[in-house]
Amino acid sequence: PAAVIVGIDGPSGTGKSSTSKAVAAKLGLRYLDTGAQYRAITWWMLSNGIDVNDAAAVADAAGKPEIISGTDPSAPTITVDGADAAGPIRTQEVTSAVSAVSAVPEVRTRLTELQRSIAAEAPAGIVVEGRDIGTTVLPDADLKIFLTASAEARAARRSGELKGKEASDLAATQAALVKRDAADSGRKTSPLAKAGDAVEVDTTELTLEQVIECVVTLVEERR
């Protein structure tokens, strides 16, 4: 059968990563976390003393770091200039800075090209998760999913993932998440948005297993 391309978009805390990895593993597809790439470029900017709120400086540097994504859904990896970035890209510092960096058009152009080439090289196909996959990166995807959930459910899930001190403050987690989604939805270049032909799945009342099952069924219908 021909390669199958699946795009999964939605705001933070809707279960995009867990769902995308599990669907890819079940169907023998590759997996690409585009959010990890935006985080990786942000980590590089912070590490190199670039002011993330200076769009011109971010644009100038956008092409400098070498970002490599490993697409095995059971062990995805990300490196920046050869260094393992999996840990550093999940810090609070990177999370707070990523929306500013990802709003810069030069950053988006560069990563969009990288994402398209990775998708084109996946032999059996790929599940790509992000914010603009269905609208911009892979407009011809075989299946587009848009995951949603209430702000309360999303904050509760995200808190559960965070360790220690951060986990205790649900209200702060929810506020930070709502702020990041507003920035991602409000930017000019390829904002977070549901593609017209995407299937919307509200995960508020669903278990992760139910969401995975739902997406797997939709992929199989289109294969």
130 touches ligand C5P (CB under 6 A): yes
The strand pairing partners of 9, in sequence order, are 130, 146
Examine residue 38 and tell whether it contacts ligand C5P (CB under 6 A).
Answer: yes
Q: Which residue has the tokens 């017209």?
A: 196
State how far the Cα of 99 lies from the Cα of 180, in Å rounded to an integer.
6
With residue 191 as reference, give the H or E element that holds it. Answer: none
- Residue 45 phi/psi, 5-degree rounding, is -60, -50
Q: What angle do CA 140, 144, 147 make, to 5 degrees?
A: 155
What is the secondary structure of 167-186 as a DSSP string?
HH-HHHHHHHHHHHHHHHHH
Question: Closest distance between ligand C5P and the C-beta of residue 36, in Å?
Answer: 6
Q: Does 134 bind ligand C5P (CB under 6 A)?
A: no
Nearer to ligand C5P, 34 or 69 (CB): 34
The residues in 71-100 that bind ligand C5P, with binding defined as CB under 6 A, are 98-99
Q: Contact with ligand C5P (CB under 6 A): which of 110, 132, 176, 201? A: 132
Per-residue binding string, ligand C5P, 164-203, x by CB under 6 A, is ----------------x---x-------------------
Which residues would be at the binding site for ligand C5P (CB under 6 A)? 12, 34-35, 38-39, 98-99, 102, 130-132, 180, 184
